[in-house]
Amino acid sequence: MQTDSSFTFVLFGGTGDLSMRKILPALYEAHRAGGMLADSGKIVAVARHIEDRGEYLQWVNEHVKPHVSKNGLDETAWASFLARIEFAKIDLGNPDDFVLLRDAIKDLPGIRVFYLATGPSLFVPICHALASVGLNANSRIVLEKPLGYDLKSSNAINDAVGEIFAEEQIYRIDHYLGKEPVQNLLALRFGNVLFEPMWRREWVESIQITIAEELGVEARGDFYDNTGALRDMVQNHLLQLLSIVAMEPPHSMDSDSVRDEKLRVLRALKPIDPRDIGKVAVRGQYHSGVIRGTAVPAYATEAGVKPDSATETFVALKVEIENWRWAGVPFFLRTGKRLADRVAEIVVNFRAVPHSALGASALRAGANRLVIRLQPNETIRLYCLAKQPGEGMNLASVHLDLAFDQFFREGQMEAYQLLLLDVINGRLALFVRRDEQEAAWRWVEPILDEWKTSTKPPKPYASGTWGPAAASAMLAQHGTCWLEEEN
């Protein structure tokens, strides 16, 4: 992916954790690859507690290097990457400082990209300050999650930002959409006649989407205790993955064609009746336990967390889509912290054959399945039944690895690298449009409202397990189980 698009990439929150772990490493990898970033492109980091460019480059050397280049750092490429970086000491709470920013970038070339790697409370003030000095023209703005606390606050942010930037200038980033297996899912479905005829209720028994973490809230207790897993993971990442899995074929891969089809899925989600939330939603909270031999504390004892907190660290949902393709097919969504493993995957369980002359194993739903692993290793596997060697017709599960990385010489891009290149080059397909975001908030709000007023605490689960037993029971009612339980 080569580009001649010149750019000035302004990074707000230039010393923050996200900038150090994800954004600057992704830009470095694009720079090192050669041809992905225009030679004239510049990165302007904005921070308050760094005095000058020299001090900032020292900070980058110390905090970014550990997160780049799994195969080793290229010192020559690193030196030339640092040469791209400029610095502006700006107090984001002082609109007058944005005159300094304007002056610092006025002679820099190309499209301006403003990346807001800050807390959402700063999104609107930053946008107003940019507009006050005329920096909202010929520009793009990237908004990190969380974008609001509920539908009302999300709309307030979008309304304010939308007064300053047009919708086609706004890039609401969800890094899961930049993962190669997610895009390969689109290629599998829409580029191969083999899969598309089977991608429907007649052949699919159920679909599972899991994002599991081994880590707890770490140093984010204050933030997380006011957010919870439903806001932090379901409203954005999980519903975006669901919309990709379930969408109809777009007429092209341009940005609005793809996002129109995702929106149709979100609008077709069966509304949650508050009276049924106990049947289709499980919320849990981790207690103390052991993960990989190390004892870990309960959520309620984490720093920044209220001792009597009812914030959920685990969510499992049964979701239905009310359209012809998916009517009657349950989608099971799950996310949690302090679980048994770090994994993100999509599991498509196909129906059993209607009649088998080969024995009972061929009649098991899920004997044929497609597993799209997003992390930690990005793979796609197709499971089917085959005869075991030897006497008799004994069947065993085997898999075909769709190891696309073995067929291409160039390595896979990290999600942030691909998405940042899309911003620079003006490609919006993998970013969330405002109406998608509103539809997602509208669907989760009844669950949020019910849990906010509920007197029932989250179901406890021991750290290092796969969450509350109720999440497994919910699937058992439909004659199925989570993938790791079957294995």
Domain that holds residue 407: 177-238+275-413+458-486
Query: What's this model's pTM, rounded to 2 decimal places?
Result: 0.93
Looking at the structure of the chain, the number of domains it has is 2
User: What are the CA-CA distances from residue 347 to residues 22, 27, 169, 248, 374 (Å)?
Assistant: 27, 32, 34, 18, 11
CATH assignment at residue 19: 3.40.50.720
Q: What is the SS3 assignment for 387?
A: strand
Q: What is the SS3 assignment for 10?
A: strand
Residue 486 main-chain phi, psi, to 5 deg = -70, -35
Question: Are residue 133 and residue 219 in the same domain, yes or no?
Answer: no
Question: Are residue 110 and residue 181 in the same domain, yes or no?
Answer: no
HEC sequence for 52-90: CHHHHHHHHHHHCHHHCCCCCCCHHHHHHHHCCEEEEEC
CATH assignment at residue 233: 3.30.360.10
Token pair 């954005």: residue: 236
Question: Are residue 124 and residue 215 in the same domain, yes or no?
Answer: no
CA dihedral 232, 347, 254, 319 (to 10 degrees): -60
Question: Are residue 87 and residue 211 in the same domain, yes or no?
Answer: no
The number of residues making up the chain comes to 487
Question: Are residue 97 and residue 188 in the same domain, yes or no?
Answer: no
Cα distance between the two ends of the chain? 39
Closest by CA position to 286, among listed 236, 214, 234: 214
Amino acid identity of residue 246, one-letter, is: A
Annotated binding residue at 86?
Answer: no
Annotated binding residue at 358?
Answer: no
The string of DSSP codes covering 277-329 is HHHHEEEEEEESEEETTEEE--GGGSTT--TT----SEEEEEE-B-STTTTT-
Q: Is residue 199 part of a domain?
A: yes
Strands of the sheet containing 139-143, edge to edge, are 85-89, 42-47, 7-12, 111-116, 139-143, 170-172
User: What are the CA-CA distances from residue 153 to residues 157, 195, 403, 456 (Å)?
Assistant: 6, 40, 42, 26
Which of 144, 159, 193 is where one domain is finished?
A: 144
pLDDT of 3: 54
Token pair 């005329």: residue: 134
Q: With beta carbons less than 8 A apart as the criterion, state whether 344 and 373 touch.
A: yes
Question: Are residue 203 and residue 328 in the same domain, yes or no?
Answer: yes
Question: Are residue 134 and residue 183 in the same domain, yes or no?
Answer: no
Catalytic residue among 31, 67, 237, 251: 237
Question: Are residue 88 and residue 214 in the same domain, yes or no?
Answer: no
Annotated binding residue at 342?
Answer: no
Q: What is the SS3 assignment for 134?
A: coil
Question: Are residue 288 and residue 226 in the same domain, yes or no?
Answer: yes
User: For 192-302, where are the alpha helices, taking DSSP H only?
Assistant: 221-225, 228-229, 239-246, 255-268, 277-280
Annotated binding residue at 179?
Answer: yes
Annotated binding residue at 287?
Answer: no
pLDDT of 4: 58
- Kindly give the confidence (pLDDT) of every residue in the chain, 487 residues in length, as a single tens digit, with 9 standing for 90 and above: 445 579 999 999 999 999 999 999 999 999 998 889 999 999 999 999 898 999 999 999 999 998 886 667 889 999 999 999 999 999 998 888 999 999 999 999 899 999 999 988 899 999 999 999 999 998 999 999 888 899 999 999 999 999 999 999 999 999 999 988 888 888 888 988 888 889 999 999 999 999 999 999 988 899 899 999 999 999 999 999 999 999 999 999 888 999 999 999 999 999 999 999 999 999 999 999 999 989 999 999 999 999 999 999 999 999 999 999 999 999 999 999 999 999 999 999 999 888 777 767 666 666 889 999 988 878 888 888 888 887 777 787 888 887 666 766 566 788 999 999 999 999 999 999 999 999 999 999 999 999 999 989 999 999 999 999 999 999 999 999 999 998 6
Closest by CA position to 371, among listed 184, 94, 132: 184
Other C-beta atoms closer than 10 Å to the C-beta of 298 total: 18
List the Cα angle 78/44/36 in 5-degree steps. Answer: 50
- Supply the DSSP symbol for 382: E
Amino acid identity of residue 101, one-letter, is: L
- Residues 484, 487: Cα–Cα separation, whole Å: 5
Residue 49 annotated among the catalytic residues of the structure: no
pLDDT of 112: 96
